[in-house]
Amino acid sequence: MKRVAVLGLVAALLAGASVATASRSARPALRIVRGGAGLVVYGSGFYANEAVRVTVVTTSSQARVVRTRPIGTFAARFGDTFVDPCNATSVRAVGRRGDRAVLKIPPRACIPA
């Protein structure tokens, strides 16, 4: 009888763990888009409804705090932030619960002035 109870408890714990991992199956990731709306950083794979601090480092540093949607995605808008392709750029996003993602863009080979 104890064995059945222990097996039932283990099964319940495993089912709870699989539900927790199903809601966060993807690793946090970032992508950057430059266009008519300026610089926008899109994130995915973060916890739902959490605050995320997004930092863009080019020749200067700018940060925004955004909240993720229920599916763990966000869009952080940086307006007219200039990203020089001849300089390295990095984007870092850190969620309040500790999840994080980093995007590093190496500099292009540019002709010196």
pLDDT, tens digit (0-9, with 9 covering 90-100), for 49-62: 999 999 999 888 99
Q: For 26-105, give the CATH class.
A: mainly beta
* Collapsed DSSP state (helix, strand, coil) of residue 5: helix
The pLDDT of residue 112: 78
For residue 19, give every residue at least 6 positions away whose Cβ sits within 8 Å of its Cβ, in sequence order, or none: none
Give me Rg for the CA atoms of the chain: 20
The whole-angstrom separation of Cα 24 and Cα 42 is 17
What would the pLDDT profile of 31-81 be if each residue is shown by its tens digit?
998 877 788 999 999 999 999 999 999 888 999 999 999 999 999 999 888
Backbone angles phi, psi at 19, to 5 degrees: -65, -40
Enter the pTM of the model.
0.73
